[in-house]
């Protein structure tokens, strides 16, 4: 894969920016040692080099904190573009619709009922709410996303494995908004569902993780 000039593209594709001096040559362990690989680099460096260059699909280098911050900043920059922001909001609303549709049982009925009430406040109210919360949500997810990049793990998988933290971060934002809400119906519905809210947000982790990967990658 040819680089597009963006250093992050090589990291995400798993391609190394380092050159493999033995590319195209099959070397067994004896031949590799004979060529001085382990003697020159030392066991630790050689193992690191083999993991990043010789192992298929492994990332070449882990981005620095500055590069990670720049990548997340790129998502915040996308939010300033009306067309891109619209696409992200569309995606987020779709995730929300899918999560609500997946609910079942008594709890599912309560969630679907509350969602219907909120949607009935006025046309486009759900979309408007998502748009208003989007910048705060991006900021809340930033620490988790940065960790995923630093550790070389896919953002979606990392969000899923840290679903508790993710849910707490997002709910801290919605709690604050609910306290300041002027619509009493919305406020009442939120208070009713809040005791089980963390469970529902955690269940959305796979879809939220994929959304993050699509738009922040």
Together in a domain, 168 and 207:
yes
Q: Whole-prediction pTM value?
A: 0.64
The whole domain housing 41 covers 7-54
3-state helix, strand, coil in the chain (%, to 5): 75, 0, 25
74: left (phi over 0), alpha (psi -120 to 50) or beta: alpha
Together in a domain, 128 and 208:
yes
pLDDT 10s digits, 78-128: 788 899 899 999 999 999 999 999 999 998 999 999 899 888 888 999 999
Together in a domain, 31 and 136:
no
Together in a domain, 45 and 70:
no
Other C-beta atoms lying within 10 Å of the C-beta of residue 59 = 19
pLDDT 10s digits, 32-80: 344 444 333 333 333 332 333 333 343 434 555 555 555 556 667 778 8
């Amino acid at each position: 894969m040819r680089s597009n000039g963006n250093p992050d593209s090589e990291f995400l594709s798993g391609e190394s920016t380092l050159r493999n001096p033995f590319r195209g040559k099959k070397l067994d362990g004896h031949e590799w040692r004979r060529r001085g690989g382990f003697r020159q680099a030392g066991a630790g460096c050689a193992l690191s080099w083999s993991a990043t260059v010789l192992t298929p699909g492994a990332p070449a280098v882990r981005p620095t904190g500055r590069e990670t911050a720049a990548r997340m900043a790129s998502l915040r920059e996308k939010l300033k573009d009306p067309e891109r922001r619209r696409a992200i909001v569309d995606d987020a609303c779709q995730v929300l619709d899918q999560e609500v549709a997946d609910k079942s049982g008594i709890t599912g009925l309560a969630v679907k009922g509350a969602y219907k009430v909120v949607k009935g406040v006025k046309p486009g109210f759900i979309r408007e709410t998502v748009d208003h919360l989007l910048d705060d949500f991006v900021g809340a997810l930033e620490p988790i996303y940065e960790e995923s990049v630093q550790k070389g793990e896919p953002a979606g998988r990392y969000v899923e494995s840290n679903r508790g933290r993710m849910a707490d971060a997002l709910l801290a934002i919605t709690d604050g908004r609910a306290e300041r809400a002027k619509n009493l119906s919305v406020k009442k519905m939120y208070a009713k569902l809040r005791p089980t809210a963390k469970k529902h947000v955690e269940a959305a982790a796979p879809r939220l993780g994929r959304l993050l990967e699509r738009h922040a990658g």
